[in-house]
Amino acid sequence: MIAPIVRSLAGLRAQTAVWRKTGETIGVVPTMGALHQGHLSLARAAREKCDRVIVTIFVNPKQFDDPDDLKNYPRTEEDDARKLESIGVDLIYVPEPDQIYPDGFATTVSVSGLTDMLCGESRPGHFDGVATVVSKLFAQTAADFAFFGEKDYQQLQIVRRMAADLDIPIEVVGCPTIREEDGLAMSSRNLLLSDRSRVYAPVLAEVMEDMREKLKGGATMAAILPDAKARVMAAGFNDVDYLELRDGLDLSLLDQAKPEARLFAAAWLAGVRLIDNIAV
Give the nearest distance from C-beta 138 to ligand PAF in angstroms: 11
Phi/psi-derived region of residue 270, left when phi > 0, alpha when psi is between -120 and 50, beta in every other case = left
Instruction: For residues 187 and 52, give the distance between their C-alpha atoms in angstroms, rounded to a whole number.
Output: 26
Instruction: State whether residue 263 is helix, strand or coil.
Output: strand
Among positions 205-234, residues that touch ligand PAF (CB under 6 A) are none
**114, 133, 224, 275: which one contacts ligand PAF (CB under 6 A)?**
133
**Catalytic residue check, 39:** yes
**Beta-bridge mates of residue 179:** 185
The side-by-side arrangement of strands in the sheet containing 52-57 is 5-6, 91-93, 52-57, 26-31, 145-149, 171-175
Considering CB under 6 A, how many residues would be counted as binding ligand PAF?
Answer: 10
- Residue 134 in contact with ligand PAF, rule: CB under 6 A: yes
Stretch of residues binding ligand PAF (CB under 6 A), selected from 4-12, 76-84, 127-135, 215-223? 127-135
- Residue 130 in contact with ligand PAF, rule: CB under 6 A: yes
- Residue 32 in contact with ligand PAF, rule: CB under 6 A: yes
CB nearer ligand PAF, residue 133 or residue 257: 133
Site string for ligand PAF, 147-166 (x = CB under 6 A): -----x--x-----------
DSSP result, 26-52: EEEEEE-S---HHHHHHHHHHHHH-SE
**Beta-bridge mates of residue 242:** 266
Q: Which of 30, 39, 128, 140 is catalytic?
A: 39
Stretch of residues binding ligand PAF (CB under 6 A), selected from 20-28, 130-138, 169-177, 251-259? 130-138
- Residue 94 in contact with ligand PAF, rule: CB under 6 A: no
CB nearer ligand PAF, residue 13 or residue 36: 36
The DSSP code for 112 is -
> Would you say 57 and 31 are in contact if contact means Cβ atoms under 8 Å apart?
yes
Burial class (CB in 10 A: 0-12, 13-18, 19+), 257: buried
Report the interface residues with ligand PAF, using CB under 6 A: 30-32, 60, 63, 130, 133-134, 152, 155
Q: Which residues are catalytic?
A: 39
